[in-house]
Structure 1
Amino acid sequence: MATPEQKQDAGQGTDKLDKGVLKVAVVVILGAIMAILDTTVVNVALQALTIEFETSFDTVQWIVTGYMLALATVIPVTGWACDRFGTKRLYLLAIALFLIGSMLAGLAWSIESLILFRVVQGLGGGMLMPAGMTIMTKAAGPHRVGRVMAVLGVPMLLGPIGGPILGGWLVDSVSWRWIFYINVPIGIIALLLAWRLLPKDDPEPAERFDFVGMVTLSPGLAALIYGVSNIPSAGGVQATSVWLPTLAGIVLIVGFVLRALRIENALIDLRLFRDGTFSVSVVTMALFSVAFFGAMLLLPTYFLLVRGETALQAGLLLAPQGIGAMITMPLCGRLADKIGAGKVVLPGLVLILAGMGMFTQVGSDTPYWQLLLALFVMGLGMGATMMPIMSAALQTLTSKMVARASSALNIIQQTAGAVGSAVMSIILAGLLAGKFGVPTSDGQLAATAAIANPATREQASVMAADSFASTFVWAVVLIAVCLVPALFLPKRPPEPPVEDGPGQGSDQPASPVLTH
């Protein structure tokens, strides 16, 4: 009779993913490709959309901000809904919602309708990755989670490279509408395969979900960002379009916090912040996301507006950043487990500062080799920061708190990224308007027209490049501030946490880790 050790060895010897698991993996990867590509494919189209809808950059960025806020909204719902309705049903719903949003976004007739349909798309996209991860983990079993992560990591690594290139090609060769229509055939195939191949699972008893928290936090953040983003065009904080949504947003957010401190199963469990390592990691992640994701919105626009590149060329020029991240992400993830996240994140932030610092000096004729090198260095730094920060946040928590913490981290990351996109676009729009002597809403269009005119091209390009350089200074400052909390990240390998320790929330139910 086999001993428990022999049984364990035998189980570990069968960690190869079998045919059934691989079929499930195909379905999940298709969903992941749609969700991840759609977070990167749009950035290179923002300049074309600004011209198409005759709007400003601080307005068109809501195509990105609205999508990210929608992602943040549904991430915490996914774990509860997987139990309540079953993972297969939820995954089918997520694909269908993403498909509907994609088709409607492609049919958009105004900037307002496009932003609305992007929100619909984000509600579906936000559920695809967490639900897919849950399905894969259940199908493969706990002893094969490492291989599952490796499979799901492929689209995560290739998305930042392929997304801008695909988006650029579609914008140049077909139409901006096809950056959304391209999801339709992929989504239909994914929907059919999910219906046929995913194992059926029955709903299970689910804990009570904080719907009130969901309908106060995200709308509160959206109202706050909207109000602040109106400051340049409204001429100050005294305008009703500024103070009213800002005040409403603050009231909703404060209401969410006060309620979350008093109830069980809050949307974001604020008791997690009793853990010092988690708190430091969250602050680092939030500052990093504001600066980095905000800067990522600006990079393709610089190539399109200042350098006159096509959308496809802009996508190709961004590839070094994705390549850099692809090199360091898997290496630094393992390294953080061996030597401590702090020793990996700090050098990563320094690399990002070095690369982004180049863009604070960018001009209208900066050599391309310098720009590509800077992007590659930024990519190396990004791969060394994002995952180690998230790992550090979870390493001192009990297993019963990890799912809640993972959900909270993803909400904060997406929300901070949305804030960064809005803030950086507001700064750029204001600077362009000031340079070209027009209202904020006309800054980018005025710059585009002046650069297109041969008589004013050279001077206009210099003025626009100076606006981008000044905006990147703000991103560098925020990344530099990240160094302060990062100094307090763990500098030793993680140790298994003491289960049921004081303040760790041992009364929380276990649930699968959901990542996006």
Structure 2
Amino acid sequence: MRTPNASPAPPATAARALLPLTATVLVGAMAALLDTTIVAVALDELGRELAAPVTAIQWVTTSYVLAMTAVIPLVGWSVGRFGARAVWLTALGLFLLGSLLCGAAWSAGSLIAFRTLQGLGGGMILPVTQLVLARAAGPERLGRVMGKVGFVGQLAPISGPVLGGVLIDGWGWRWVFFVNVPLILVSLAMTWRWFPRDEERDERRLDLVGLLLLPSGVVALLHALTGLETQAGIGTAILTAVAGAGLLTAFITRSLRRTEASLLDLRLFADRAFRSGTVMMFVLGVTSWGPMFLLPLYYQRQHNLSALDAGLALAPQTLGIALASLLAGRYTDRLPPRPLALAGMAAATMGTLPFVFATPDTGTLLLSVALLLRGVGFGVASLPVSVAVYRTLRPAAIPHATSASTIVQRIGAATGTALMAVILQAGGFAPALTWMFILTATGLVMAASLPGRK
């Protein structure tokens, strides 16, 4: 590894340079974060215009999440090999191209393919944002900078469904993808001016075999799950599931036997706190992303709300998450993970229960209150789970733990989305909402496995 010869900038100069760099990456991150929720309210119109069933249209979300997941292990390696600026420009370029192609899609299949390309860019944008700001801020300013990142991270999910509703009702579904274009172009222009060039290079080898085995196995299993909706597809689904399980088994066996660095450090799962926290992150991925797919369709089809009104109806949940994250943060360092996670998941379960008994005549105000409580619960539970992942690991293991836990959470998100689509297609909204409650209650039970002592 070679290091730059130039001496570091004086503190005042570094502080002045940090503000435009922070703005540069946050503009790009805002586009990627918006895209995680803005598409949710477009799924109903997408299904109608592209003549696609629910189990097919859910891949518009699932393909994006899986692509974001697949690219996570590449970020650290590619930044070390090519530099953060080059990786950042590549990520913005992929996301911009994917957004333009998604807006021009002519069928469900083409949209899913272009969403995969968009997800590759989006999956790189968010980790590079955190990495670059952590490097630039240093320990003395990291808290303030990450506070700004956290604010944007909470603002985007809240505004996404509402903005999506405005665009869909006004100009159609294509604009939920075209809206990314000006944000990315602004970030590209700012990158040219303020994003520094880095000279450090790392010659680590990439685990290409692992990079092929893990995503292929997950996609095969999810494809098998969505194939169970019809009697004719059961045989193919079983074969696909067997193939997916075989690929994941091969990945796990190979990773545990390798002496070189693997795509994921599976030995981290020997640590009880990391294991329980990561399993809980999978559960949170299932219980939060599955309903994120289901609820916009529920409001639009069962309550006949427009895309904008559905986005407004969903806003209380993300508002609850944001408020809880701000309030619960001060207690996360004082208390062990288990009691906070149990309290949060209990609130989320209570907030989900009214949907089990809801009818098309149930007032949306009551459901909005329930969503606010559900959001508060998830906001309280997610913080201690994130802490549990790192609490007993040595510092050198933290980057590997971040990669592994994030990948597991996004696999959970893809699983939850596919599962909700299959249940909805097979039985309608009543069983889907019941399963939304069951999965959330399962998260409450699983929270008991988290560490109970500081």
Instruction: Name the TM tier (shorter chain).
Output: over 0.9
Q: Aligned residue for 2:305? A: 309
SS of the residue corresponding to residue 449 of structure 2 reads coil
Q: Output one character per residue of 1:145-190: Cα deviation in whole Å (capped at 9) or x when no partner.
A: 1112101111211112100001111111001011111111111111
Q: Using a 3 Å threshold, how does the CA distance of structure 1 residues 15 and 143 change in structure 2: closer, same or farther?
A: farther
Kindly indicate whether residue 72 of structure 2 is the aligned counterpart of residue 75 of structure 1. yes
Mapped partners of 2:203, 2:331: distance in 1:
37
Mapped partners of 1:127, 1:77: distance in 2:
8
2:263 is matched with which residue: 260, 267, 273?
267
Deviation larger for 135-144 or 354-363: 135-144
Q: CA deviation at 1:485?
A: 3.1
1:402 is matched with which residue: 398, 411, 435?
398
Q: Aligned residue for 2:35? A: 38
Q: Using a 3 Å threshold, how does the CA distance of structure 1 residues 206 and 383 change in structure 2: closer, same or farther?
A: farther
Alignment length, in residue pairs? 444
Equivalent position amino acid for 2:248 in 1: I
Q: Following superposition of structure 1 onto structure 2, how do residues 25-424 of structure 1 map, counting pairs within 5 Å?
A: 25-235=22-232, 237-238=234-235, 240=236, 242-263=237-258, 264-424=260-420
Q: CA deviation at 1:236?
A: 5.4
Given that 1:82 and 1:203 are in contact with CA atoms closer than 8 Å, whether structure 2 keeps it comes out as: no
Mapped partners of 2:192, 2:367: distance in 1:
46
Deviation larger for 115-124 or 140-149: 140-149
**How does the TM-score come out when normalised to structure 2?**
0.95
Given that 2:85 and 2:198 are in contact with CA atoms closer than 8 Å, whether structure 1 keeps it comes out as: yes
Q: Which has the higher helix share?
A: 2
Kindly indicate whether residue 437 of structure 2 is the aligned counterpart of residue 476 of structure 1. yes
Mapped partners of 1:15, 1:325: distance in 2:
36
Q: CA deviation at 1:16?
A: 12
Mapped partners of 2:209, 2:231: distance in 1:
32
SS of the residue corresponding to residue 234 of structure 2 reads coil
Given that 1:91 and 1:131 are in contact with CA atoms closer than 8 Å, whether structure 2 keeps it comes out as: yes
Q: CA deviation at 1:339?
A: 1.1
Aligned-pair identity in percent equals: 39
SS of the residue corresponding to residue 487 of structure 1 reads helix
Mapped partners of 1:112, 1:488: distance in 2:
41
Q: CA deviation at 1:111?
A: 0.2
Equivalent position amino acid for 1:55 in 2: A
Equivalent position amino acid for 1:258 in 2: T
SS of the residue corresponding to residue 474 of structure 1 reads helix
Equivalent position amino acid for 2:80 in 1: D
Q: Using a 3 Å threshold, how does the CA distance of structure 1 residues 141 and 176 change in structure 2: closer, same or farther?
A: same
Q: CA deviation at 1:482?
A: 2.2
| RMSD of aligned residue pairs (Cα, Å) | 1.6
Mapped partners of 1:78, 1:207: distance in 2:
13
Given that 2:225 and 2:418 are in contact with CA atoms closer than 8 Å, whether structure 1 keeps it comes out as: no
Mapped partners of 1:351, 1:156: distance in 2:
22
Deviation larger for 148-157 or 328-337: 328-337
Q: Following superposition of structure 1 onto structure 2, how do residues 435-454 of structure 1 map, counting pairs within 5 Å?
A: none
Equivalent position amino acid for 1:248 in 2: A
Q: Output one character per residue of 1:181-220: Cα deviation in whole Å (capped at 9) or x when no partner.
A: 1111111111111121111101412422212111111121
Q: Output one character per residue of 1:442-479: Cα deviation in whole Å (capped at 9) or x when no partner.
A: xxxxxxxxxxxxxxxxxxxxxxxxx3232122122222
Q: Using a 3 Å threshold, how does the CA distance of structure 1 residues 401 and 363 change in structure 2: closer, same or farther?
A: same
Q: Output one character per residue of 1:406-439: Cα deviation in whole Å (capped at 9) or x when no partner.
A: 11010001111001000011000101xxxxxxxx
Given that 2:41 and 2:165 are in contact with CA atoms closer than 8 Å, whether structure 1 keeps it comes out as: yes
Given that 1:288 and 1:478 are in contact with CA atoms closer than 8 Å, whether structure 2 keeps it comes out as: no
Q: Aligned residue for 1:510? A: none
Q: CA deviation at 1:251?
A: 1.7
Equivalent position amino acid for 2:141 in 1: R
Q: CA deviation at 1:95?
A: 0.3
Given that 2:83 and 2:199 are in contact with CA atoms closer than 8 Å, whether structure 1 keeps it comes out as: yes
Equivalent position amino acid for 2:437 in 1: V
Mapped partners of 1:207, 1:347: distance in 2:
43
Q: Using a 3 Å threshold, how does the CA distance of structure 1 residues 359 and 16 change in structure 2: closer, same or farther?
A: farther
**How does the TM-score come out when normalised to structure 1?**
0.84
Q: Output one character per residue of 1:48-106: Cα deviation in whole Å (capped at 9) or x when no partner.
A: 00000111111100000000000110111101111111001100110001000000111
Mapped partners of 1:234, 1:108: distance in 2:
30
Instruction: Specify every segment of 5 or more residues in structure 1 that has no aligned partner in the other structure, as ranges.
Output: 1-10, 432-466, 494-516
Instruction: Specify every segment of 5 or more residues in structure 2 that has no aligned partner in the other structure, as ranges.
Output: 1-9
Q: CA deviation at 1:31?
A: 1.3
Mapped partners of 2:252, 2:320: distance in 1:
38
Given that 2:137 and 2:145 are in contact with CA atoms closer than 8 Å, whether structure 1 keeps it comes out as: yes
Given that 1:281 and 1:393 are in contact with CA atoms closer than 8 Å, whether structure 2 keeps it comes out as: yes
Q: CA deviation at 1:246?
A: 2.1
Given that 1:290 and 1:419 are in contact with CA atoms closer than 8 Å, whether structure 2 keeps it comes out as: yes
Equivalent position amino acid for 1:115 in 2: I
Q: CA deviation at 1:304?
A: 0.5
Bigger radius of gyration: 1
Mapped partners of 1:170, 1:369: distance in 2:
24
Mapped partners of 1:41, 1:338: distance in 2:
35
Mapped partners of 1:157, 1:70: distance in 2:
22
